[in-house]
Amino acid sequence: MISARNVGVRLDSRSILDDVSLDVLRGEVLTLVGPNGAGKSTLLAVLSGDRKPDSGTVTVDGRDIGGIRHAELARLRAVLTQENSVSFPFRVSEVVAMGRSPWARSIESRDDVAVVNQALEATDVAHLGERRYTTLSGGEKARVSLARVLAQHTPVVFLDEPTAALDLRHQEEVMRAAKIMAGEGRAVVVVLHDLSLAGAYSDRLALVAHGRLEAIGTPSEVLTAERVERVYGLPVDLHDVGGHPVVVPRR
Amino acid sequence: MTHSLRALTLTLTLAALLVGGIVASAVLGQLPVSPAEVGGSLLRAIGIGNDWAPSESIVESTLWVVRFPRIAMALVVGAALAVAGAVMQAIFGNPLAEPGVVGVSSGAALGAAIAIVIGVAALGDSAIALLAFVGGLLATLLVYFVSRANGRTEVVTLLLTGIAVNAFAGAGLAFLLFVAESGSREQIVFWQLGSLNGSRWGEVLIVALVTAVGLAAALVLARPFDLLALGERNARHLGVNVERLRIVSIVIVALLTGVAVAFCGIIAFVGLVVPHAMRMVIGPAHRQLIVASAVGGGVLLVLSDLLARSVVAGGDLPIGLLTSLVGGPFFFYLLFRQRKRSGGWA
């Protein structure tokens, strides 16, 4: 679906990403993990077409992503960013409906109401529909923004730390929603910090460190105690819970 | 109240204020005219003969040469300024952005003053309008690119930039006042204060045309403006060409402000008060907001102008003075509320 080849990004002669190649595939959850400042968000920005790489190529089904118009790209991929403030007091239902705007004047727009309602349900914010977005709590804002991204209903979905502001139950629900989208044949790319959460819900993990792709593969292939210790600089124990790796720092 | 009920109430209230304001403006003045004469004169103008129409030509000419053009000017200038305010707030992502506050109006006034002093004004009204537009455009561009970070504008940055632009334009105006001949000097003072006195049909037509174009363009962009409230990056993810939207919006703001300032001088705070009031009633969605602001701005200026010319007997207060008198405290209130809510001047 989306392919990055030898991608490099530099900022003031400092290398942020260096020679990264990976494929985003339909029907799977691909999670990007790595320490702070490793380049995960930059990689997400490059894959989603937000940022033009300084070297290498990013293609969507063989087409250069830089050559795709804004309006068309908005029908191909949705992005949940970490920054989700809204300048004016729009209602929650209005904010989520904004996710439908790329489909205005297309055949898909007849499903607008159903898709919006589904997104409100999936993120557990249907009861907030009439509230002003600006009056919500941080976690509620995060879920409403996720609902907006779901409503965009694109073949590729990027989620940059979607669980950051959420409680335990909502974290699980978000990742389950990601899994469901992948089950529908869509490609889901998530940036996560919680390695155990990543291990439980990802089909593939990409570990990014110092701007390079350290490892990519299934969670149990990537998450070895030795590798996690080396990349994060912290001794950890790895446990196996129901076939998924769980990472616990040695305290 | 449901949304549609609110919208209906607002429409009816605005319509009542509009009709009341227009009739009162036509009736009141040094030469009293009865409401029946006003109605009769209007009906006769569209070809319906009637008995109410004024028989004295002095009444007829007072209405058609002095009062009606002035009312029409108040309507279109009010609409232009309020829509400019709404558009500016949309692209700055900040409800405190306003052409007067951030210095677009004084930029336009400086442009107009330059036109007067170097004498291109002799080429006609459109030369003043053109330089006012250029001045407004430069000021908008400057404020926009200086005061924004990460797709939003913080209040402090916005206001400080506004202070700088206003100070510079003020110095420019003062210099021009200093070097100008007494005739030009009077004209420049007029620009600084703002007044609808002496509006002529030809001027009204120019302002009306530009306002119509600006309003139409703003309405076309209403949906992208909504999406821009999510922040620039998110708007781009939803297919908005943010760069193009920005440029077009800046031109719209400069056009609307420039044409208003060119013919009526600086009338501040209309673009702040009106969109804010409308947003409180019907919510922030831009299509309705822009339409409501256009009408609300017209209503506000018709009423303000009525007040401006009747509060001092026989005198004509500059309308810009009046709107600032009301708008200043209102701006302070908004600022105070925003500070309380965000716990600082962010």
Q: Which of A194, A178, A197 is nearest to A186 (CA)?
A: A178
Asked if B275 has any chain A CB less than 8 Å from its own CB, the reply is: no
Among A87, A95, A146, A160, the strongest candidate for a mutation testing the B interface, having the largest count of B CBs within 10 A, is A87
For A11-56, give the DSSP string.
Answer: ETTEEEEEEEEEEE-TT-EEEEE-STTSSHHHHHHHHTTSS--SEE
Asked whether the predicted pLDDT for residue A56 surpasses 70, the reply is yes
Predicted confidence band at B153 (pLDDT cuts at 50, 70, 90)?
Answer: low
Predicted confidence band at B83 (pLDDT cuts at 50, 70, 90)?
Answer: very high
Task: For the sheet with A156-160, list strands across it.
Answer: A77-80, A156-160, A187-191, A29-33, A204-209, A212-217
Q: How far apart are CA A50 and CA A30, in angstroms?
A: 19
For B193-197, what is the mean pLDDT? 83
Asked whether the predicted pLDDT for residue B154 surpasses 80, the reply is no
Asked whether the predicted pLDDT for residue A157 surpasses 80, the reply is yes
Looking at residue A60, its pLDDT comes to 94
The interface predicted TM-score of the complex, written ipTM, equals 0.91
For B161-183, what is the mean pLDDT? 89
Residue contact A88–B95, C-beta within 8 A: yes
Torsion of CA B67, B70, B72, B78, to 10 degrees: -140
Phi, psi of A239 (to 5 degrees): -115, 160
Among A88, A100, A131, the strongest candidate for a mutation testing the B interface, having the largest count of B CBs within 10 A, is A88
Asked whether the predicted pLDDT for residue B186 surpasses 70, the reply is yes
Higher pLDDT, A191 or B143: A191
Asked whether the predicted pLDDT for residue B88 surpasses 50, the reply is yes
Higher pLDDT, B342 or B84: B84
Asked whether the predicted pLDDT for residue A93 surpasses 90, the reply is yes
Average pLDDT, chain A: 93
- In the DSSP assignment, the letter for residue A132 is B
Predicted confidence band at B121 (pLDDT cuts at 50, 70, 90)?
Answer: low
Asked whether the predicted pLDDT for residue B3 surpasses 80, the reply is no
**Residue B231 is nearest to which of A70, A85, A104, comparing CB atoms?**
A85
For A40-62, what is the mean pLDDT? 94
Predicted confidence band at B334 (pLDDT cuts at 50, 70, 90)?
Answer: confident
Which A residues, 7 through 26, put their C-beta within 8 Å of a C-beta on chain B? none
Higher pLDDT, B331 or A204: A204
For B137-158, what is the mean pLDDT? 78
Number of CB pairs, chain A paired with chain B, less than 8 A apart? 75
Our CA-based measurement puts residue B264 at a distance from the nearest CA of chain A, in whole angstroms, of 31
Q: Identify all chain A residues contacting B237, using CB atoms and an 8 Å cutoff.
A: 48, 50, 74, 77-79, 81
Q: Identify all chain A residues contacting B285, using CB atoms and an 8 Å cutoff.
A: 90, 94
Higher pLDDT, B95 or B73: B73
Task: Please say whether the dihedral angle defined by the alpha carbons of residues B191, B195, B201 and B204, taken in this order, is positive or negative.
Answer: positive
Higher pLDDT, B197 or A103: A103
Our CA-based measurement puts residue A93 at a distance from the nearest CA of chain B, in whole angstroms, of 12
Q: Identify all chain A residues contacting B277, using CB atoms and an 8 Å cutoff.
A: none
Mean pLDDT check: name the lowest of A43-47, B35-39, B191-195: B191-195
Helix (H, G, I), strand (E, B) or coil at B346: coil
Predicted confidence band at A48 (pLDDT cuts at 50, 70, 90)?
Answer: very high
Q: How far apart are CA B21 and CA B329, in angstroms?
A: 24
Predicted confidence band at B342 (pLDDT cuts at 50, 70, 90)?
Answer: low
Residue contact A84–B230, C-beta within 8 A: yes
Q: How far apart are CA B316 and CA B197, in angstroms?
A: 8
Q: Identify all chain A residues contacting B238, using CB atoms and an 8 Å cutoff.
A: 74, 98-99, 101-102, 152
For A213-242, what is the mean pLDDT? 92
Predicted confidence band at B346 (pLDDT cuts at 50, 70, 90)?
Answer: very low
For residue range B214-251, what is the model confidence (pLDDT) as tens digits? 999 999 999 999 999 999 899 999 999 988 898 899 88
Predicted confidence band at B295 (pLDDT cuts at 50, 70, 90)?
Answer: very high
Predicted confidence band at B6 (pLDDT cuts at 50, 70, 90)?
Answer: confident
For A105-134, what is the mean pLDDT? 91
Asked whether the predicted pLDDT for residue A164 surpasses 80, the reply is yes
Higher pLDDT, B269 or B48: B269
List of residues 6+ apart from B150 with CB closer than 8 A: A83, B231, B232
For residue range A187-213, what is the model confidence (pLDDT) as tens digits? 999 999 999 999 999 999 999 999 999
Closest CA in chain B for residue A152? B238
**Residue A78 is nearest to which of B226, B231, B237, comparing CB atoms?**
B237
Asked whether the predicted pLDDT for residue A221 surpasses 80, the reply is yes
Lookup result for tokens 């155990």: A196
Which B residues, 219 through 258, put their C-beta within 8 Å of a C-beta on chain A? 223, 226-231, 233-234, 236-241
Asked whether the predicted pLDDT for residue A18 surpasses 50, the reply is yes
Q: How far apart are CA A198 and CA A31, in angstroms?
A: 7
Our CA-based measurement puts residue A89 at a distance from the nearest CA of chain B, in whole angstroms, of 6
Q: What is the pTM for the complete model shown?
A: 0.89
Q: Which of B107, B269, B286, B117 is nearest to B188 (CA)?
A: B117
The structure tokens listed for A104 are: 């205005």
For B73-95, what is the mean pLDDT? 93
Looking at residue B144, its pLDDT comes to 82
Mean pLDDT check: name the lowest of A180-184, A217-221, B144-148, B270-274: B144-148
Closest CA in chain B for residue A97? B227
